[in-house]
Structure 1
Amino acid sequence: MKKFTRPQTLLRKAHFDLSKSVGRRDVDQVERHAVQARQRVMILAGLFCCAYAVIGGRLVQYGLSKTVVTDAVFENGSRVNSRPDIVDRNGELLAVDLDMVSLYAEPRRIVDADEAVEKLAAVLPDLDWAGTHKKLTSNTGFQWLRRQLTPKQQADIMKLGIPGIGFRPEKRRFYPGGATAAHILGHVDIDNRGSAGMERFIDQQGLSALREAGLTSNVPMSPVRLSIDLRVQNIVHEVVANAKIAYQAEAAGAVVLDVETGEVLAMASVPDYDPNVPSRILPDGSVDKEYEKGWFNRMSNATFEMGSTFKSFTLAMGLDLGEITLNSVIDASKPYRLAGFTIHDDHGQGRPLTVPEVFQYSSNIGTATIAAKVELADHQAFLTKLGLLTKMKTELPEVATPTQPRPWRRINQVTISFGHGVATTPLQTAVAGAALINGGKLIEPTFLPRTAAEAAASAIQVIKPSTSADMRFLFHWNGVKGSGRSALVPGFDVGGKTGTADKVVNGRYATHLNFNAFLAGFPMAKPRYVVLTVIDAPQTGEKGGRLAAYTAAPMAKQIISKAGALLGVQPRFGREEEQLLVNY
């Protein structure tokens, strides 16, 4: 007989069995969750380990890599390339360094190149976006972004807080006078290195070596004093610039020279340029070549046929070699013929002329006749002795070499006697002219101060003192009675010789274009200064004339009248009248 089981017992047993079954499923689920949690922790730990490994690796890389030093990217290894100030003979400032900063980038440290370019463009509107972006993504240690910023631009860029962007202190050359003495001073490049003129000369005298040795970084330097008188330079530049415009000429120039020391007191050539802005960029991004033509210094770096000013040297040669005297009479009654060529006078008198009259009337016939009395070799040697056929020695790097026929023939001698066939620089023409009136001593020109004693020690006697006295007489004679009358300045006793030459164009003489010059000295009783003025291809002149007497001579008159007293020449009015000082 089966044992009876009560319902309560069955219910308890069923409940126990159900609870047991459910408990196992929960345990399995909990275990599965635990495994998944452990897996997630391991993944996260792995990710953290990878991240720390990358960071650690980069730190090791930075520690082992060579440190980028900004200064190391520059050629000279110096932080700042300083230059000495340049002053005139009176201490007036001509060139000075200004403290500036330039913007650079270290592309390897740039976080976001696109953002950096966008921010920089907000401060520098003319920024080259593509070029700058290329620099910032170049993976190099250093790139210039903008040279010589203004203080405001620097401050605005600093506020941007761009990583990998920095500033480097630099020097910028400043010329207070602008174009006034451009061809004397020259200019510097973006790294403050001399590119032309006296700036380049200073580098050649040892500044470049000091810079390479890193000895020009913010080092105080003594000023470089020039022979230039800024007051006279301003006058000469103004006269030359105005003459080019007034006479509708291609170019013009002038120089003032001390005949006793060879010092250049002033020199200007136009077209010129502003050395503060030696180059200009056109809207299309190209360089303005027309503006850069102003770099060309026509006074020392260009050669011209100097026309009738060369008659001064021909007559001096005849006098010095004893072929003529001031009392000699030269037959200029008919044209001079040689080897099928015929020489005429522009202002012929149709009669024999004395030597002073040959000079006064600028007789080609008379001058050619005098030159023919001298052997070819002696004529060439005389001009060489005056420095007219060889490259001039002076501080300016821009000096041209004269040209002459090779070989010389008789017809060359004839044309050279009145200024055709030999091309020389205006500056060395002025130097040779000074030797004619200073007692016969050739003194190399200088743009640095020089005493009379220093000049005498290096001077070369090229003509006799008696010949120099005769030439002073001829200059005075022509200044009073000849073409030099256009340059007369009351009280300053100006003498000189005009020169009008047909301009050479494409190897041929252009009869409608002239190159005009006037070689002047003052005061002729005891000359102290030579003034040479030139004007290239004038279309008009005083009283409508295009010759030197109407263009170059009036230029000399303006210079002497304004600068004579500044140069210490006291004008004399009348023989018995006391000397007066005149303010201009």
Structure 2
Amino acid sequence: MIRTPLRPLARILKAREAGENPDAIERENIRLRHEEMRDRARMRAEGRLLVMGAFFVCAFAVIGGRMGVLANSEPAEPRTGFAGADILAQRADIVDREGRILATNFETYSLYAQPQQMVEPERAAEALAAIFPDLKVERLKKDFTGKRKFLWVKKKLSPEQRQAVHDIGEPGLLFGPREMRLYPNGKLAAHVLGGASFGREGVHAAEVIGVAGVEKFYDKRLRDPAMGHQPLQLSIDLSVQSAVERVLQGGMMLMNAKGAAAVLMEVQTGEVVALASLPDFDPNDRPRPPIKGEKPGDSPLFNRAVQGVYELGSVFKAFTIAQALDLGLVNPSTMIDTKGPLRFGKYRIRDFRNYGNELDVKTVLVKSSNIGTARIAQMIGIDRQQDFLKSLGFFEPTPFEIVEAEGGKPLLPSKWTDLSLMTISYGHGLSSSPLHLAAGYATIANGGRLVKPTLIKQPKGQLGPRVMSERAAGQTLQMLRSVVTDGTASFAEVEGYAVGGKTGTADKPKPTGGYYEDKVIATFASVFPAHDPRYVLVVTLDEPVETTGPEPRRTAGWTAVPVASEITRRVAPLLGLRPEIEPAPLTGITLTSN
């Protein structure tokens, strides 16, 4: 920038020549320079004011817009921020074979507190204790008046409870929406479903995870967002399950039993139509697992049908005879030495009654002769007995779709001796679950093809490899029918439905060794209809005692059989089986020809 001098020489010289004052020229140039500086400063100040004005206009516009958005939005509780992945709360439904709901989701609310926002924490504590009797008022007061910034009060609220808490009017009590697992049928099929609980929890969502049964076995599939719209369909029939549980509960009470179990299975597919274990529980309010010192078997969570492994007694005789028939060692009319007692070292094998010196194979099963069965087992031998029972699945847990099945591994003798050979042939010395037994009888009923139990509805038959000939299976099935018509299971007969089966009464072992004299496990394994087998039913009672007679009776023929008979009578029509009525004999009428 070129700056004009205050005393330009040319003008000064000219002014002096004209007799003018040269200082006036300097004063004028100073005035003009000051005016120019003032104008520049004013323009700079005006520019700054304009920029600041524009900034404030924009800021107020943003704030006003945000206030307008908030004014038009729904009020919401502040969210508690946390690091990590979002919680997935959606869980697929579980339905029975007809599509009826067994487990579903229910929208509810949780209750949490932020004590620093409370106005009257002590009054709020007293009001909450009045709504929820399980909460301790002193504990609430301590939490609400302490240094805690956040605490859960209730994980699940009913609509009535939520309204009651809302009426307290305390701003520090807040609600968080969440989904919970609902079992609309209560205790029905409790051991099959198992139950669910909360995993990771946030203020506005909670992760629902399976803790037992089908819920835990299929937990990943039920939580898969891609499968959330597709329910898990089980083979259980809700109506049949209800009938089985109701009859089993009544039978357990009438027979003064400590516990009971029942398995109803299709013989062609292995589908379990009903599975019950008593005592049971409500999965909506699942009890705590047994603590140290308590017997797991006494807990209602214990699944007697799957986890319970017992010496099941004479029901195993059907397997021994079926194998002997399959190997061609005997036929139904082969005579067997039954003179007793059968001595083996210091041990004696006896029959319930003296059946004479010999019986044919059919009568050995019908009369349930321990000695006769042991003689047949001696013909089979240890190796072949082991191979046969292993092929039926009695060496491993059943591949069943509930997590408890892994704990139902059969108890085998540490050393399989000749004595073990004989005792296992009639159901002592090897412990297995009622589910193992049902699968074994289904193998006989379907003609000798291995059956794997399943809880999932199958599109078609899933028969496994052949483990016995169709001839041997058919002959054994005919003998099982004779056990009902002529033997120890006469109470099992249901008019219109031909039932075949075998009883089993085993002394209950003591925890310290040996056996109780007055405690048994009574079992009845049945097949119906016997002429065209469709279903297998196994009923087991723990420590039953039938007391209507002059003396207490504990054998399966008096305890488990009547219960199984009533179950068959109730469920057969529900399963679509039509009774076959045999024509009554004509009495008092003489037929004559024309």
| Structure-2-length-normalised TM-score | 0.78
Residue 263 of structure 2: SS of its match in structure 1? strand
Change (3 A) 1:207 1:135: farther
Unaligned 5+ runs, structure 1: 1-66, 282-287, 578-584
Task: Answer yes or no: is the 8 Å Cα contact 1:348–1:363 preserved in 2.
Answer: no
In structure 1, the residue matched to 2:454 is: 446
Q: Does 1:242 align with 2:250?
A: yes
Deviation by residue 1:155-194 (Cα, 9 ceiling, x = unmatched): 2323433233311112232222222211111112245321
Residue 412 of structure 2: SS of its match in structure 1? coil
Which one of 137, 142, 156 corresponds to residue 129 of structure 1? 137
In structure 1, the residue matched to 2:362 is: 356
- For 2:229 and 2:150, the matched residues in 1 are separated by 30
Instruction: Return the offset for 1:511.
Output: 1.7
Deviation by residue 1:245-264 (Cα, 9 ceiling, x = unmatched): 11111111111100001000
In structure 1, the residue matched to 2:216 is: 200
Residue 179 of structure 1: SS of its match in structure 2? coil
Q: Does 1:315 align with 2:321?
A: yes
Deviation by residue 1:519-543 (Cα, 9 ceiling, x = unmatched): 1001111100001111111122665
CA RMSD after TM alignment: 2.7
Which one of 313, 338, 345 corresponds to residue 339 of structure 1? 345
Change (3 A) 1:423 1:128: same
Residue 102 of structure 1: SS of its match in structure 2? strand
Residue 419 of structure 1: SS of its match in structure 2? coil
- For 1:193 and 1:471, the matched residues in 2 are separated by 46
- For 1:122 and 1:355, the matched residues in 2 are separated by 72
Residue 483 of structure 1: SS of its match in structure 2? coil
In structure 2, the residue matched to 1:369 is: 375
Instruction: Return the offset for 1:196.
Output: 1.2
In structure 2, the residue matched to 1:493 is: 498
Deviation by residue 1:136-169 (Cα, 9 ceiling, x = unmatched): 4564553211121122322232343323331111
Residue 103 of structure 2: SS of its match in structure 1? strand
Query: Which residue identity lines up with residue 395 of structure 2 in the other structure?
Result: L
Task: Answer yes or no: is the 8 Å Cα contact 1:503–1:514 preserved in 2.
Answer: yes
Matches within 5 A, 1:131-280: 131-136=139-144, 139=147, 142-190=150-198, 192-203=208-219, 205-207=220-222, 210=224, 215=225, 221-279=229-287
In structure 2, the residue matched to 1:77 is: 86
Q: Does 1:551 align with 2:556?
A: no
Matches within 5 A, 1:78-117: 78=87, 81-110=89-118, 113-117=121-125
Deviation by residue 1:370-418 (Cα, 9 ceiling, x = unmatched): 0011221221111111111211111011121110111201111111111
Instruction: Return the offset for 1:292.
Output: 8.4
Q: Does 1:382 align with 2:392?
A: no
Query: Which residue identity lines up with residue 103 of structure 2 in the other structure?
Result: A
Instruction: Return the offset for 1:290.
Output: 10
Residue 108 of structure 2: SS of its match in structure 1? strand
Change (3 A) 1:289 1:533: closer
- For 2:297 and 2:518, the matched residues in 1 are separated by 27
Change (3 A) 1:126 1:421: closer
Q: Does 1:509 align with 2:515?
A: yes
Change (3 A) 1:407 1:126: closer
Query: Which residue identity lines up with residue 111 of structure 2 in the other structure?
Result: L
In structure 1, the residue matched to 2:471 is: 466
In structure 1, the residue matched to 2:420 is: 412
Change (3 A) 1:165 1:300: same
Q: Greater CA deviation, 181-190 or 226-235?
A: 181-190
- For 1:179 and 1:250, the matched residues in 2 are separated by 18
In structure 2, the residue matched to 1:484 is: 489
Q: Greater CA deviation, 411-420 or 373-382?
A: 373-382
Task: Answer yes or no: is the 8 Å Cα contact 1:279–1:291 preserved in 2.
Answer: no
Instruction: Return the offset for 1:131.
Output: 3.1
Deviation by residue 1:210-269 (Cα, 9 ceiling, x = unmatched): 4xxxx59xx953222111111111111011111111111111111110000100011111
Matches within 5 A, 1:424-439: 424-439=432-447
Instruction: Return the offset for 1:69.
Output: 4.2
- For 1:190 and 1:292, the matched residues in 2 are separated by 26
Instruction: Return the offset for 1:111.
Output: 5.6
Q: Greater CA deviation, 296-305 or 87-96?
A: 87-96
- For 1:546 and 1:320, the matched residues in 2 are separated by 33
Residue 303 of structure 1: SS of its match in structure 2? coil
Task: Answer yes or no: is the 8 Å Cα contact 1:253–1:270 preserved in 2.
Answer: yes
In structure 2, the residue matched to 1:392 is: 398
Task: Answer yes or no: is the 8 Å Cα contact 1:531–1:556 preserved in 2.
Answer: yes
Q: Greater CA deviation, 416-425 or 149-158?
A: 149-158
- For 1:251 and 1:419, the matched residues in 2 are separated by 20
Instruction: Return the offset for 1:85.
Output: 2.0
In structure 2, the residue matched to 1:14 is: none
Q: Greater CA deviation, 112-121 or 474-483?
A: 112-121
Residue 294 of structure 1: SS of its match in structure 2? coil
Change (3 A) 1:290 1:430: closer
Change (3 A) 1:309 1:162: same
Task: Answer yes or no: is the 8 Å Cα contact 2:222–2:232 preserved in 1.
Answer: no
Q: Greater CA deviation, 268-277 or 490-499?
A: 268-277
Change (3 A) 1:313 1:248: same
Instruction: Return the offset for 1:463.
Output: 1.1
Instruction: Return the offset for 1:122.
Output: 5.0
In structure 1, the residue matched to 2:205 is: none
| Structure-1-length-normalised TM-score | 0.79
Task: Answer yes or no: is the 8 Å Cα contact 2:340–2:349 preserved in 1.
Answer: no
Change (3 A) 1:123 1:531: closer
Change (3 A) 1:491 1:106: same
